[in-house]
Structure 1
Amino acid sequence: MEKYRRFNIKLTPQRIAIFDYLEGNKNHPSAEDIYKAVKKQFSTMSFATVYNTLEALREKGNVRELKIDEHKKRYDPDMSPHHHVICTKCNVIHDVFSDIGVHLPDEVSKGFDISGKSIEFFGVCRKCKY
């Protein structure tokens, strides 16, 4: 419980279960995925609790929201600088930690204080390809 105080969000048993599910999760789960997993522990928990917790985490910079398709948001608890490669058939998402040398030309970035970058590559994964 102490390790989650850094999130600066009121801690409840349901929120702690959501944090536990996210911690170290490399699957980039959706709110629905998290809800299904955590509801096993808290049968009376609502989907709104999961969604609102994810929103609070996102607003405080503790989780990254990925809008991979127009129907579903996915969440990435790894806030270190990285990018993603996404399969357009099965929607699996893999992290890419290599630095990708993208530099905005001065005329494009003029007047902006760039705070980060995120690049998504789309394609068909090896599993779906064969």
Structure 2
Amino acid sequence: MERGSYKGRKEYIPALAEKLKRFGLRATPQRLAILAFLEGNTSHPSAEEIFRELKPRLPSISLATVYGTLEVLRREGGIQELTIDSERKRFDPNPKPHNHFLCRNCGRVYDLPVGLPALTPPKKIEGFWVETFTVDFYGLCPACQK
């Protein structure tokens, strides 16, 4: 799924509002739209892409609101911030650890199948406390290989 599963489905607004509340955010129309756009979204959008998508429907939304909302969601563990793309930060609504693949030709970021061998680092490495880690893959996606 490219875009959020909540897009245009008013019956999910209370669920989205509750989710924002759990992260310490008021449920404004702008934040609800950001969260709705992210829910189920597998395109790993940047803040700028989210802003461009929502601006026509929400003229009052600002890029600062998008960045601020994403920062709170990231800090509270509701989304992942991906640094796989050196051009821009991207965001993944799936906060569970998983691997990503960046196609060097089309620039698309993919979630890799869960069945890949998982890397589990020790909690401590030579005195360093490990909180999290990422493993990113780069190459050509199936479409670009053709």
TM over 0.5: yes
Q: Which residue of 1 aligns with 2:95?
A: 79
Q: Is 1:45 matched up with 2:65?
A: no
Among 102, 109, 116, the residue aligned to 2:119: 102
TM-superposed deviation, 1:72: 0.9
Q: Which residue of 1 aligns with 2:108?
A: 92
Distance 2:90 2:72 in 1: 15
TM-superposed deviation, 1:104: 4.5
Q: Is 1:58 matched up with 2:74?
A: yes
TM-score normalised by length of structure 1: 0.86
Q: Which amino acid is the alignment partner of residue 98 of structure 1?
A: G
Distance 2:26 2:122 in 1: 42
Q: How many residues align?
A: 129
State the identity %. Answer: 41
TM-score normalised by length of structure 2: 0.78
Q: Is 1:3 matched up with 2:19?
A: yes
TM-superposed deviation, 1:103: 4.9
Q: Which has more strand, going by share of residues?
A: 1
TM-superposed deviation, 1:105: 7.4
Q: Which residue of 2 aligns with 1:35?
A: 51
TM-superposed deviation, 1:8: 1.9
Q: Is 1:17 matched up with 2:33?
A: yes
Q: Which amino acid is the alignment partner of residue 67 of structure 2?
A: Y
Unaligned 5+ residue runs, structure 1? Answer: none
